[in-house]
Each structure stands twice: as structure tokens, then as C-alpha cells.
Chains A and B, each alone.
Chain A
């Protein structure tokens, strides 16, 4: 037979990927390649084509369906473990009537435990409010709604209280899941508080106890795979159990194998059931069963069997990042095996293994996080052996010892913490020294496909020992990424983005050919936004947007005035990005959000006053206001006029009608094509005379959806509409962008425009 199982599963998967991401040309290219390779094997070709076709139809597309928000009563079964976050408990629920997948959310403000009856597999009856989270409102922002939809979740139900859901019964797995929770609690109580989070993450697959600092440190260095339980853990686990049962003379080889066949799936469930764990458990179990029955299976087919099993059980897992990473890396390693035998030493094997793994997932990683650290290769070479040879085995020892006699476990965990803290401390220092993040940006699909073609040819040449080609194709893969990074520098398009950060202002101006990036205001999170986290505006909106655009340097950060909703993210911006210069008015005042004055010193700070012109990369920003102090922060806002894409823009901060009159007096000939409507559309600004005089075509209102101030005021919006000013509002349109060249430009909204009538 000319095809094997892995061929078909691969065709099936690639068919799915090509249809999900509408990669028509890539799919056609692949089929032509197979046609060429298999032209002498018509049966194989037919099978491949069929698998590809089935794959392209198999995976659901999950269209964005509007969910009607209302109170509902449903019955069904809990089909997942309880996922506890600091603010809520989430569960997957299979609704009985329409068989829809539902996420049940219990917001536990008081950190109460959920009722014991909410078990896996329990049949429940619940009342709650049906909802679905908002879609992303800005480019680069994480789309939680899409994320849920891709898992096949039709809607969320928010429970008002513990009594809103009553359950009875449970599945066979429930005792195991409960045991996992109990063991987790027991470990937390027994172990050293610094040691417990590592054990929870590395043995029980629960990384919530690790502090965010560590998690983000590991992510920056592409080491997250260590913190997630993977095939490595399962392998070590298998080795340890086998060693204990067989080498100790306790059981025969045959019996030890049976013990493993039973234990691996159980451990897979206890370890949290992440895709990598399931993959490794399935592969381990099948491999052992096959050995038992004296059969043979090639590693590629084993892997294919695991993937197929998981995809048939839950097709939406194809969107799961963990699934993608796990299979890509494992498949790459399996295909590279002949290579490792040709390499001279263990060090070289480790280096190439690490390189191959990193390269295999690089574009997906960039697509997700927009950046990567080229030096993470070395971090992996150091930390993978440290964790797999020392930390993880030791964790299993601690785990076992603690179950038997907890004080000994405490002692061991203290011992571990003493050593491990030094390592993490050194790593943190290293991290501070080698911050070479390459910010590629939100890489587009054609570049990803191109990268993978280059990577594939790179590996092919390497394995066939064609070193010159290997080098060239390696270079090609890197060049694909470089080319994408350079794209904005070669593009004649610039863009002005009014980010939808809620109630507040943040404008990002990217000049054509990326000659400069200017920000006007950088709002922070509202003070009362504790549920979303205190820095969410920066970490979830401003930073992802800039990273997705491949921006690392901001040539000018202009802060109109000193208010949380205009300058609240300035400090984080200066810390995380290379901000060349900060511009404020002299009456800006002591910046309460820039708590440490030295933060401002990192970037040069320049005052701007009326009459001055700020020139960045040939683009002029005329300062119209303030000439002096006008008493309050809003009236001291910087007012700037600039020409971008043949339109005159007027950025007004939060000035009131008095200042508007004052500016009209001092600048009688002032016109504006695009007016930033002052103070989020408050009625204290935007006087009729101001609009008449400026005669704008478009008005930008940066305002929070359902904000507590009632902005924008109806008087202002009806005035502007009456004057035929085209209104762009972040509360209706999400982020608003103006894409321009030197001669012209067009506005576009991030949310579909027909949503605006809501």
C-alpha cells in the first residue's frame, strides 16, 4: 500500500486547516504535489484526496450568532471539571433539549466553594441569565467571544447564586476529579508555600497557583511548555512506575505493563486533561497495548491515531493552541529522528532538537503573542534538561512522599525551594539583561504558509544532508519573518487609530513608511475596574494593539492633560515600549499616574505651549492651546492641529466651550475636516459656533459603551448630526481607523458598521 495511516490523518487535518482558514492556494498546491508524487499509486491518491475532502468538511466553522440576553431555565449535564478562576467558577454543560454546549459561570465574589453536588456528569437543572461576552473591539485584542465560539460554546449562563443550579448524579470520572481536587488541597496545606505552586503545575497540571510574574517570564522565553504537563511528564511517569514495579522485582514485566496501561489514562485525567496530556496518554496506552499483542506500529501512525481519536471526540480541539503545539512539536521530532543519530554529541543533539521544536511552532506563537525572543533557544537548552532531569522527577518524589507522610514532604519541598529559588533568581536577572524581543506583529496567513514551506524544505535538506540547501532554506524561513516585520516600513499607507478603550482617549498615529509612531493620549483603566484587573486597558488593549502592529518605538507620546482617562497608561507604556519623548503642556501638573518621577526621565520630557509646532518625521502638529493656565486640568488640555492624509485633524483633549471660544478668537481661520469631539461628547463642550466655524466632515467620539456619565450627550450628537458631521463613536464602532497615503484616505470601523444602529 502506498499510503499509511499518518498520510490519511495528515490529509484530513490539512484539508480541515485549508478550509477553516480558506487557504485555497496552499490546499491546491498540496494536492498538486500529491498528484505528482502519487501518480503511480492511484488507489493511494484516491484515499488521500478523500481524506483531504472529508477533512475540509468535517470541522465546524462556528458562525458568530447573536445571543439574546434573557433569563433562561435549562436542563442538562455537566461535562467538564470545575475551572476555578479568582472571580468565577466555569463549567461546560451539555444542554439537553438542543444538545448545545453551554458555559455555566458562577461568579463567586466571596470565594465560596461550589456545592458538592456539582460533579462531572451530574444531571442539573439551572436558572440564570443567558449571555455571551463582547467580541473584541480593537485590532490585536483577544476576542473572548470568538474563543468560546471556537470551542463550540453556544452561549454562557451566569448563575445568580449557588441555589440557581441543582444537580444530582455523577459520572464514573467524578470520583477521580474529586480526588484530584482533594489531593491538590492536601498538597497546598502540606507543602512549603513556595514549593506547592510548582508541584501543582508539574504533577497535577494546575498552574493557577504560580504567580503571574513567573508565568510571563516563562512565556517570554518560550518555556511555557515546561509549565504545562506534556508528553515529557507522561514519559517520566511511565518510566518511574515501570521502574518501581518491575525493576524492584515486585511485578513481572507483563504485569508491570498492564499496570501502566491502566494507570496512564488515570494519570492523564488527574493531570488535568490538557491536549498535550491526552495526546501523550493515548500514545502511551496504544503503544503498550500494541506491544502486548506483539503488533507493530510506526511512531508516525501512533501519533496520527492519537490525533484522530482526539479530533473525532472533539473537533473543536483543532483550534486549541495546546493541541497545535503538542502535535506540531511531536511530529517534527518524530520526522527528525534520523538526524539525531548523525549528530556528533549530545550537546548538538539538544541544540538541534530545541531549534526544530522552536521553529516548528514559531509562526503560530507569533500569531498569538506577536513577538518572540530569538535567544529562547538557549533558554530551552538550559531549562529543559534542568526541569526534565531534576525538577519534574523530584516533584513526583515529593508528591509520593507527601501522600505517605506529609511532614517529610514538607521538608523535601523546602529543600527544593532553596535550590529552585536561586535558579529562578538567576533566570530573572538573565531575563533583565537579554531582552531581545523581536516584535514581528500580527503575522498574516500567507506569510505563515510561506514560512512553513521554507521550514519544510529546510528540514528536508537537512535530513538528506544537503547542507548548502539547508542553509538557504533556513535563511528563507527567517527572511519570511523579516519581510513581514519590514512591511510597514515599505508601505505607503499610514493610519490613525482611535482605540476603543472604553471611557477615555488613546490615538495611535502610524506615519506612512513607518517614519514615525505618535500617540495622543494613553488612557488607563477606570479606577473602579477591579474585576478586569487594574491595568487591563494597557495590557489588553493598548499593548496588544501596538504589538500586533509590530510597533516597539513610539517617537512621541503626547498627553493632552493629566487625567486617568487620558494619561493613565503612560507609565506602563514608557516601561514596556521605547518611548523617545513625552510631550505635555507646562501646566500638566505632577503626574499622579507617573508615580515615580524617574519613569518620565527615561523618556525625554518636553513642554508644548500654544504657538509652537511639533514636527515628527516631517509631519507638523500645531499647538493651539494652552497659552497659560486656565485653572482646571480639562481646560489646560493640549489642542493640536495636524494634516494627515489630506485632511485637517483637530485633537481637542477635554476642553470646554469657553476654551473653544478662546481658540476661535486666537485662530479665526481655523478649519478642521476631522474633529475629535472634546470631552467624550459632554454637553460642556462642542458649542454650535465651534462646529459652524470648524465645519468638520467627521467627528470622532471616544466614549465608553454604557458609561456612567451619559456621554456623549444627546445635545452634542444631535447638533453634530444636524450639521451633517459624520460621527464615529467607539461605543458603537469599536476602534476607528483612518488609513491614508499622502493624497487621500478612508475611514474604517473595527466592528461591522451595521451594528452601529443598536
Chain B
């Protein structure tokens, strides 16, 4: 078996723990595993950003002080820290269409889903792409993640604009017309899924759309906390 990222051969040693279990299909070598560092230690209780202590970060304080955005997104949970290495992995996956790389995150995602089974809302809603973008990329990365979390992701949202978030400033992201439109019938609790949480604007717009449609409690999960 070879590493999905660097194509080095992966040696699988059987030990006392694994001997009576099925062969684990590993997808990464130990070195490449290092490029996906899990978030541990103190984090902001709202957005999951790494902090020195368990206090709410300044960004979230701003969000929560605004009347419009207060309590829209209850909590975000992310898997990995952002850094250059992970950016390369995401670029290869998302923009260069190496869809199979989603397997890199599979075991970590399955673990966190198992851990949060009781806390998380059951309706898993991926952030949609606009139709142009979907044609361009061939797949929706949020959808791919959601499919690892549940067998039936719920599609409640529709995206109107086609502009790339990554090309916008923070101000532009925060003050514009909501690009998302929600279906009218929504469950009371929803877990939004996306690939990356950068400013939190995308997730909050989506949450806002759902809230306006009648959702009471909205959380989110992203692969990376930017």
C-alpha cells in the first residue's frame, strides 16, 4: 500500500493490539500524517480557534456584540490547524480535483463524529457551491466531508452568487446580501459542514438563512480552522 500524498510505501506492522482485528486500510505514511495536526488544548469556545486560555476570541466577541449576528452560530468545531502544508493538501484536493484525497480525513472525521455523537445535531447540512463553481470543480468539498459524517446529508441551502469568498476582504464578506437561500421546511437543530472556517462569515450567512427559515440551534463543523 502507498501513501496517498507522497506515494511512499506504507509498512503495516501487526502488533498485539491489531493482531485479531481487520487490516487497517491506512492511507498516509507517518510523515504525511504530521501535515494534518489535530486541534488540541485551549480553544475559543465558539469558533474553535487555538487560544492561550479558554476565553472567547476577539473575532467572536465582535460577532456576538453585533445584534444581527449574535447567537446565529452557536458553536464551531474544526479538526486541523491551518498551515502551509495543509493548504497544499487542500489545494490539491479542492482546486486540482484530486477527489480521492478525501480519504485522508476519513478516520479523523469518523472519530470526531463518534465522539460528538451525543452533542451534535443530527441534520448534517453541507454548504452548497454555486452551480458554476460545481461544474468547474466537479465536486462539492463540503458535500464530500458531509458524506463521511452521515449517510444522508440534508440539502437545505441554495447558493445565489458565484464569487469566491477567498478573493474578498473581511469587510466585503461581512456586509453584503446573504448569498444563501434556505428551504422553508427546516429541522430545529442543524449541523453545517464546510471545508474551512476562516472568518466565519460563510457559515454565519448560511446559519442566518436557516435561522430565518425557522431553525433554532445551528452549529458547524469544518475540516480546518483557518
Report yes or no: B20 in contact with A34, Cβ–Cβ below 8 A.
yes
Interface residues of B in 18-64 (CB under 8 A from A): 19-23
CB distance from A451 to the nearest CB of B (A): 15
B17 at the A interface (CB under 8 A)? yes
B12 at the A interface (CB under 8 A)? yes
Give Cα A163–Cα B223 distance, bound, in whole angstroms.
86
Report yes or no: A41 in contact with B22, Cβ–Cβ below 8 A.
yes
Interface size bracket, B side: 10 to 19
Give Cα A336–Cα B19 distance, bound, in whole angstroms.
11
A112 at the B interface (CB under 8 A)? no
A335 at the B interface (CB under 8 A)? yes
Give Cα A460–Cα B12 distance, bound, in whole angstroms.
17
A73 at the B interface (CB under 8 A)? no
Report yes or no: B19 in contact with A335, Cβ–Cβ below 8 A.
yes
The A-B contact count (CB < 8 A) is: 48
Picked from B16, B19, B23, the residue with its CB within 8 Å of the CB of A462 is B16
B15 at the A interface (CB under 8 A)? yes
A285 at the B interface (CB under 8 A)? no
Give Cα A156–Cα B13 distance, bound, in whole angstroms.
47
A164 at the B interface (CB under 8 A)? no
B14 at the A interface (CB under 8 A)? yes
A1 at the B interface (CB under 8 A)? yes
A33 at the B interface (CB under 8 A)? yes
Give Cα A3–Cα B19 distance, bound, in whole angstroms.
10
Mostly, the A contact residues are helix
A300 at the B interface (CB under 8 A)? yes
- Find the B residue at minimum CB distance from A45: B22
- Find the A residue at minimum CB distance from B22: A2
Report yes or no: B14 in contact with A336, Cβ–Cβ below 8 A.
no
Give Cα A41–Cα B22 distance, bound, in whole angstroms.
8
Report yes or no: A3 in contact with B16, Cβ–Cβ below 8 A.
no
Report yes or no: A463 in contact with B16, Cβ–Cβ below 8 A.
yes
Report yes or no: B13 in contact with A3, Cβ–Cβ below 8 A.
no
Report yes or no: A335 in contact with B15, Cβ–Cβ below 8 A.
yes
A464 at the B interface (CB under 8 A)? yes
Report yes or no: A300 in contact with B14, Cβ–Cβ below 8 A.
yes
CB distance from A329 to the nearest CB of B (A): 14
Give Cα A460–Cα B20 distance, bound, in whole angstroms.
11
Interfacial chain B residues near A7, Cβ < 8 Å: 23
Give Cα A275–Cα B97 distance, bound, in whole angstroms.
55
A456 at the B interface (CB under 8 A)? yes
Report yes or no: B21 in contact with A460, Cβ–Cβ below 8 A.
no
Given contacts A460-B17, A463-B17, A464-B17, contact A298 B12 (CB under 8 A): yes
Report yes or no: A33 in contact with B16, Cβ–Cβ below 8 A.
no
A6 at the B interface (CB under 8 A)? yes
- Find the A residue at minimum CB distance from B16: A459
Interface residues of A in 306-362 (CB under 8 A from B): 334-339
Report yes or no: B20 in contact with A1, Cβ–Cβ below 8 A.
no
Picked from B15, B20, B22, the residue with its CB within 8 Å of the CB of A338 is B15
Give Cα A37–Cα B18 distance, bound, in whole angstroms.
10
Not counting A298-B11, A462-B16, a sample of 6 additional A-B residue pairs whose C-beta atoms are within 8 angstroms of each other reads A3-B22, A6-B19, A336-B15, A337-B15, A460-B16, A463-B16
A-B contact pairs, 22 of them (CB 8 A): A2-B23, A3-B23, A6-B14, A6-B19, A10-B19, A10-B20, A34-B20, A37-B21, A37-B22, A40-B22, A41-B22, A298-B11, A298-B13, A298-B14, A300-B14, A300-B19, A337-B13, A339-B15, A456-B16, A460-B17, A462-B16, A463-B17
Nearest first, the 3 closest Cβ-Cβ pairs linking A and B are A2-B22, A459-B16, A300-B14
